[in-house]
Amino acid sequence: MKKPVVGVIANTFHIEGRFFVQGAGERNLRAVAEVAGALPVMFPGLPDVTEIGALLDVVDGVLLTGARANVHPTRFGVEPCAAHEPYDEGRDCVALGLVEACVAKGVPVFGVCRGLQEMNVAFGGSLHPEIRDLPGRMNHRMPRLENGEIHPDPAVIFADRHDVRLTPDGEFARLLGCETIRVNSLHGQGILDPGKRVVVEGVAEDGTIEAISIAGAPGFALGVQWHAEYDPQTNAVNRKLFQAFGEALTAPRR
């Protein structure tokens, strides 16, 4: 039986200060292959290389991965600041147009971390560069040691850190069959104002938006602020999400 194909967006990396490389985290690829049951195919976040129409002729769905780079502030009407770099404007260009195209054509799209933020901006929403700076918010960034260095243990970095309350009778509540889930947290930027078609599906204890869907989307169009790709092989919540994404890849387009 032919496997469905998932396009996994790549990020720009500057290697050794000399080479520009496009790459995606291996856990994203394994989540698609091992849990969604699809063939992951990376495509570049470069607008002069990736033509969206041609891409959607090839893939059955799209995974918008997390990334270190923030969405460029000019994409939602804010002046850029050096403190919130790095940016990846090539990926912005590809991802924002791709979100709209996927939703319009009913191509399943799953946004993870930066991917959720891109989905929000694509539909006119805004972001805050440091959610932890807003009154009453917790620090959603990855754990660090007392000397400021990133914690060396991935199990600590990706450990579940806070609850998310799901919207009653929403897409996520129906899919997961519960009212509250517990998730990891590794982000600075987050949703400030939801876009015009963005439906809030779950919020953290401090009010940070953690899960969204796109109103009126004819196909799977969900986004999560946490890193669901880290452990869907063992985490029941993340497994259900990637399995649902996988099922959507072979469902008839509406």
Tens of pLDDT, residue by residue over 112-164, are 999 999 999 999 999 988 878 778 788 777 777 777 777 777 876 777 888 99
Assign 173 a pLDDT band (cuts: 50, 70, 90). very high
The one-letter amino acid at 144: R
Task: Give the CA angle between residues 6, 75, 46 to the nearest 5°.
Answer: 40
Question: In this predicted structure, what is the pLDDT of residue 40?
Answer: 98
Percent of the chain clearing pLDDT 90 (strictly above) = 71
Question: In this predicted structure, what is the pLDDT of residue 4?
Answer: 98
Question: Does residue 29 register a pLDDT over 80?
Answer: yes
Q: What is the pLDDT of residues 36-68, one digit of tens each?
A: 999 999 999 999 999 999 999 999 999 999 988
Q: What is the pLDDT of residues 206-235, one digit of tens each?
A: 899 999 999 999 999 999 999 999 999 999
The one-letter amino acid at 95: A
Helix, strand, coil shares of the chain, percent, nearest 5, are 30, 25, 45
Known active-site residue 81: no
Q: Which of 84, 128, 187, 227 is catalytic?
A: 227
Burial of 207 (0-12, 13-18, 19+ CB in 10 A): middle
Domains in the chain: ranges and CATH:
5-249 (3.40.50.880)
Question: Does residue 194 register a pLDDT over 90?
Answer: yes
- Rounded to whole angstroms, the Cα distance separating 84 from 75 reads 14
Q: Which of 118, 171, 201, 229 is catalytic?
A: 229
- Rounded to whole angstroms, the Cα distance separating 142 from 159 reads 10
Known active-site residue 34: no
DSSP run (H or E) holding 104: helix 89-105
- Rounded to whole angstroms, the Cα distance separating 203 from 94 reads 27
Position with higher pLDDT, 69 vs 228: 228
Known active-site residue 227: yes
Phi first, then psi, for residue 189 (nearest 5°) are -70, 150
Question: In this predicted structure, what is the pLDDT of residue 133?
Answer: 78
DSSP run (H or E) holding 95: helix 89-105
DSSP classification of residue 143: P
Question: In this predicted structure, what is the pLDDT of residue 186?
Answer: 80
Question: In this predicted structure, what is the pLDDT of residue 86?
Answer: 87
Residues 27/230, Cβ–Cβ less than 8 Å = yes
Q: Which of 84, 93, 102, 113 is catalytic?
A: 113
What's the predicted TM-score (pTM) here? 0.94
Question: In this predicted structure, what is the pLDDT of residue 81?
Answer: 79
For residue 155, give Cα distances in angstroms to 31, 142, 158, 184, 219.
17, 11, 5, 10, 34
